């Protein structure tokens, strides 16, 4: 069976963004009479609009690289978009998830950050209690069907003043977009994953906590040093939210747990060394302090 030709999704996606020179600062929704309605700042709606904007780009990339662009057959199913090889070869699908979050800013100095700097933010990157554990829960098909997993992420500022003006399309300049200073990144999922959940009371994987999008663009999370297999093992065994026995909640604790659980002392030592190397060379500002929050 022939294979779909290999391609670098990150490189191709970034090239398309440059070619299209898109403006992400969406002003509103337009009806057929040319009336523009303001959007507001509902994060789910903003996220959906980002998805709609990039669908034509994803379609082009899929067509040019012998894939079909598909979406899950039901809502709340991973991933948002699927690249399926047109030759239907199993195990070669590409998962693409769209994630959004907005910036907030420090009003006073805090743990090495200055007043006015963006607070470190975290993207939620899907459940760690579903398909990572059994392969089929809340995912289209089986986890093993997918060769690659990518995240296309958007970070933006919310407009200070909410615009409720309804105008004609010829008066578009009168509308203040609800989202400003939009930045976009695309990266393999495991390379941007952190070691804590996306929020304290959920079972969602959290991205690395940073206020610099460069860490996400360049894929500088701790698992970029430790590898995808370690990422999958770490999160498929991460304690459930209501678990009474929290055996580990950080990578340092995971290494200790792994050392006791297996006889792979040499491999665990190597993982510790890689993690410490990452802390020295790549970790964001105040990383260990913020990890305790």
Q: Is 291 helix (H, G, I), strand (E, B) or coil?
A: helix
Q: What is the Cα–Cα distance from 24 to 38, expressed in whole angstroms?
A: 15
DSSP letters, 242-258, are: T-S----SSHHHHHHHH
Q: What is the Cα–Cα distance from 184 to 155, expressed in whole angstroms?
A: 7
Indicate which residue of 16, 66, 97, 217 is catalytic.
97
Q: What is the DSSP letter of 68?
A: E
Q: What is the Cα–Cα distance from 62 to 86, expressed in whole angstroms?
A: 10
Q: What is the Cα–Cα distance from 233 to 258, expressed in whole angstroms?
A: 10
16 is known as an active-site residue: no
Residue with tokens 């992420």: 153
The gap from C-alpha 243 to its chain's centroid, in whole angstroms, comes to: 26
Q: Is 161 helix (H, G, I), strand (E, B) or coil?
A: coil
Terminal Cα distance for the chain, rounded: 51
Q: What is the Cα–Cα distance from 99 to 83, expressed in whole angstroms?
A: 17
Q: What is the Cα–Cα distance from 192 to 168, expressed in whole angstroms?
A: 42
DSSP letters, 19-62, are: HHT------EEE-TTSEEEE----HHHHHHHHHHHHHHHHHHHH
Indicate which residue of 5, 16, 31, 80 is catalytic.
80
Residue count of the chain: 293
Indicate which residue of 8, 32, 63, 99 is catalytic.
99
Name the strand (E) or helix (H) holding 74: none
97 is known as an active-site residue: yes
Active-site residues, by number, are 80, 97, 99
């Amino acid at each position: 069976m022939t294979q779909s030709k290999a391609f670098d999704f990150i490189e191709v996606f970034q090239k398309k963004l440059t070619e299209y020179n898109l403006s992400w600062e969406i002003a509103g929704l337009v009806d057929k009479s040319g009336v523009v309605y303001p959007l507001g700042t509902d994060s789910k709606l903003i996220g959906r609009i980002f998805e709609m904007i990039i669908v034509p780009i994803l379609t082009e990339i899929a067509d040019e690289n012998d894939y079909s662009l598909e979406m899950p057959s039901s809502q709340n199913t991973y991933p948002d978009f699927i690249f399926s090889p047109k030759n239907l070869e199993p195990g070669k699908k590409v998962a693409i998830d769209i994630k959004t979050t907005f910036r907030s800013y420090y009003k006073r100095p805090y743990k090495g950050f200055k007043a006015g700097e963006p607070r470190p933010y975290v993207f939620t990157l899907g459940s760690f209690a579903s398909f990572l554990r059994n392969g089929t829960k809340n995912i289209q098909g089986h986890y093993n069907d997918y060769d690659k997993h990518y995240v296309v992420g958007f970070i933006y500022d919310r407009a200070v003043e909410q615009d409720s003006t309804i105008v004609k399309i010829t008066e578009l300049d009168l509308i203040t977009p609800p989202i400003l200073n939009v930045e976009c990144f695309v990266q393999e999922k495991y390379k941007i994953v952190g070691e804590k959940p996306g929020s304290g009371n959920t079972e969602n994987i959290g991205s690395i906590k940073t206020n610099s999008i460069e860490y996400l663009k360049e894929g500088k999370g701790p698992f970029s040093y430790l590898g995808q297999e370690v990422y999958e093992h770490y999160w498929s065994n991460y304690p459930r939210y209501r678990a009474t026995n929290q055996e580990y909640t950080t990578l340092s604790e995971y290494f200790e747990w792994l050392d006791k659980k297996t006889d792979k002392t040499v491999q665990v030592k190597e993982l510790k060394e890689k993690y410490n190397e990452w802390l020295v060379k790549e970790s964001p500002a105040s990383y260990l302090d913020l990890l305790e929050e």
